[in-house]
Amino acid sequence: MSIFEYNGSAVVAMVGKNCFAIASDRRLGVQLQTVATDFQRVFKIHGKLYIGLSGLASDAQTLYQRLVFKHKLYQLREERDMKPETFASLVSALLYEKRFGPYFCQPIIAGLGENDQPFICTMDCIGAKELAKDFVVSGTASESLYGACESMYKPDMEPEELFETISQALLSSVDRDCLSGWGGYVLIVTPTEVQERVLKGRMD
């Protein structure tokens, strides 16, 4: 078993019309044993920027703390919030710095940039970025997430339709992966508001 599969995870981000959604499962496991069913994998950096961290849970929390520290320093120095593109480069540089003993995380970054244009990207554990215009996935359920998202996604969805699409994609994908699941957590971010919703899923 790979170290990335030790805790199990499923994270997905999807772009809509001037909005985006980021969702994750809620299971924390130790291989096949479930430890918690309310685990947080999506973290807030600022009002319009979120990061989802799949992979080893302890590394995800450590990485998040380091990123919050770096972002607060940036806010103090620049007196503004970081753009999503800039933040993606920061995460990439931070991961590549540790390439010989990496954080076992695969981050997904989602944010609203200039003119409220959605930006999503993912990277591997040493910071190799992959930009996308539609959706990005990571975690143990990534293969089934790719299939579900490919078939369900369509461009320029409104927030409510985007929520429905990403929720169905997440729930149907984690049912095909025994290391992730136990419901889901979805964030819909628009220029004016952020909606948080918790999904109920199969509890096995």
* DSSP class of 100: T
pLDDT at position 19 over 90: yes
Q: What are phi and psi of 56, to 5 degrees?
A: -70, 125
Q: Kindly indicate the confidence band of residue 204, based on its pLDDT and cuts at 50, 70 and 90.
A: confident
- Name the one residue in this structure whose structure tokens are 């919030």: 81
Q: With 90 as the cut, is the pLDDT of residue 1 above it?
A: no
* Average pLDDT in the chain: 95
DSSP codes joined into one string, 11-77: EEEEE-SS-EEEEEE--EEETTEEEESS---EEEEETTEEEEEEE-HHHHHHHHHHHHHHHHHHHHH
Mean pLDDT of 51-75: 97
Domains of the chain: 3-199 (3.60.20.10)
Write the DSSP symbol of residue 94. H
C-alpha span between 85 and 133 (Å, rounded): 13
**DSSP secondary structure code for residue 117 in this structure:** -
Average pLDDT over residues 119-134: 95
Between the two ends of the chain, the Cα-to-Cα distance in Å is: 20
Q: Record the pTM.
A: 0.94
* Per-residue pLDDT band at 34 (split at 50, 70, 90): very high
CA–CA separation, 151 and 149 (whole Å):
5
Q: What mean pLDDT do residues 168-175 have?
A: 95
